[in-house]
Amino acid sequence: MTQTKVYWLHALTPLHVGVGAGLGFIDLPVMREKATGWPLVPGSAIKGVLADSHGASAEARAGKPLMTAAFGTGGEDNANAGALVFTDARLVCLPVRSLYGTFAWVTCGLALRRVARDLKAAGGAEMPVAPPSENALVAQGSVLNGDNEMVYLGELDFKKDLKDEATAWAEYIKKALFPGDQDWQAEFQKRFAILHEDSFNFFAETATEVNARIKMDPERRTVDKEHGALWYEESLPAETVLAGLVWCDRIPAARQCTEEQMMALVKPATLQIGGKATVGRGQVRLVTAAGAGGVR
């Protein structure tokens, strides 16, 4: 795993990677981690759409040894999953409505510790641990508190606490997420906040988008009464940030491809992930970062 990198997903439009039918009032919920209940994007989905972006369909891979080695082959004979390995993209920052600054990119200490663990696995530098606090820890230059000492996010309010740890994390994430874009780097740092885990859990459950949908009869232009009953589907809102790891597993000798060649396929791109593409869902930016903080 010498070529291990951290990869980032930035949702440009609402993102729906579902689990099928739900048990509550949301008919089509998003996929979530079992232990934390936080939304995620499975690594298999990312690997699949990345292969598609390279034109590596199942049929096209046959004549492309590099694509076959990286993304695998199907069928019953000599099938393999490919050498590129993606972990699930786990939630790092969730956009939440703010009274000041329009919205905030919120996270929590546990989410950041998991990112720090991934950075260490990729050979990166140590990142600071955010101190436990009931306050909203904000970065230098924050606009989330307006002219007072309070931060109002969604239905909750917090005391503002300017912390060096928050500034350090804002500095790292903004450079990884928006390489070379000074304007968006500045916007991210102004709106970054670290919350207590309980508050983050609340927003991870309640700050997703839930939209009502119906099916139309194409001839009558009215609701399809037989199949068009009202249903509700959940999506991660635009501006959500997730992260995971990518590396190369063992490469079959017959493939004659190097780790560097395969990792070069994981490069910045705009991808469509999940369902509802015909209504503009699932547009994301993929960005990869070297372990030491450099962005590629």
Taking each continuous run of H as one helix and of E as one strand, the counts in the chain are 7, 16
Q: Is 256 exposed, middle or buried (0-12, 13-18, 19+ CB in 10 A)?
A: exposed
Q: Does pLDDT of 54 surpass 90? A: no
pLDDT digit string (tens) for 239-284? Answer: 999 999 999 887 665 567 888 888 999 999 999 998 877 888 899 9
Per the listing, tokens 């508050």 go with 199
Evaluate whether residue 185 is within a structural domain.
Answer: yes
Does 145 map to a domain? yes
Give 138-156 pLDDT, tens digit per residue: 999 999 998 899 999 999 9
Determine, yes or no, domain membership for 230: no
Mean pLDDT for the chain? 87
Distance CA 72, CA 44 (A): 12
Selected residue with higher pLDDT from 170 and 232: 170
Task: Give residue 14's pLDDT.
Answer: 95
Q: Is residue 215 part of a domain?
A: no
pLDDT at position 295 is 38
74 inside domain: yes
The pTM score is 0.89
Instruction: Evaluate the CA torsion angle 198, 202, 207, 211 in order and state its sign.
Output: positive
Residue 220 in any domain: the answer is no
Mean pLDDT is highest, among 11-15, 247-251, 280-284, 291-295, for 11-15
pLDDT at position 292, please? 38
Top-confidence residue, 107 or 24: 107
* pLDDT, mean of residues 103-129: 94
CA distance 289 to 296: 6
CA distance 248 to 133: 39
In a domain? residue 222: no
Torsion-angle region of residue 293: left (phi > 0), alpha (psi -120 to 50) or beta? left
Which pLDDT score is estimated for 77? 61
Averaged pLDDT, 24-34: 83
Total domains in the fold of the chain = 1
Domain span including residue 201: 5-16+31-207+236-290
> For the chain, what percent of residues have pLDDT higher than 70?
84
pLDDT of residue 162: 95
Residue 156 lies inside a defined structural domain of this protein:
yes
Dihedral sign for Cα 235, 98, 175, 133, please: negative
pLDDT of residue 90: 98
